[in-house]
Structure 1
Amino acid sequence: MKQSVIIEMSTAELIERIGEEQNKLADMRMSHAVSQLENPMELRQLRKTIARLNTELTKRNAEQASN
């Protein structure tokens, strides 16, 4: 997911998407533990996407706190 798309999302959408992505990551980790994933690089991409979402959410919370 690109940063420009993340910035356009509302705060509620960010929170919802973080939960979805974390569930997806947990499922992928379980699948990876049981059998080999077709593309293990997806785990890294998913972790980075979650980090980007969390970074944007933290940035917005900091802006609200300062105002």
Structure 2
Amino acid sequence: MKMNEIKELSIKDLQEKIEDMEEQQGKLLLAHSVSTLENPLVIRHNRRTIARLKTELNSRQLNEADKA
């Protein structure tokens, strides 16, 4: 997921996407520990996407706090 796609999401959508991605990450890690994934780089990609989503969510929440 690219940053310009992330910036188009609302705060609620960001939170939902983070939850979904974290759940998917947990499943991938479990699957990888049981047997090797076909493409283990998916784990890294998901981790970085989660970080991007959390960064955007945090910056938006800080901006809202500054406005209040």
TM superposition score normalised by structure 2: 0.98
Where does structure 1 lack aligned partners over 5 or more consecutive residues?
none
Q: Which amino acid aligns with 2:37?
A: L
Partner of 1:41: 41
Q: For residues 22-64 of structure 1, give each alpha carbon's deviation from its aligned partner in whole angstroms, at most 9, with x where no partner exists.
A: 0000000000000000000000000000000000000000000
Q: Runs of at least 4 residues of structure 1 off by over 3 A?
A: none
Identity %: 40
Q: TM-score, normalised by structure 1?
A: 0.99
Correspondences of 1:1-67 after superposition (within 5 Å): 1-67=1-67
Separation in 1, partners of 2:28, 2:45: 12
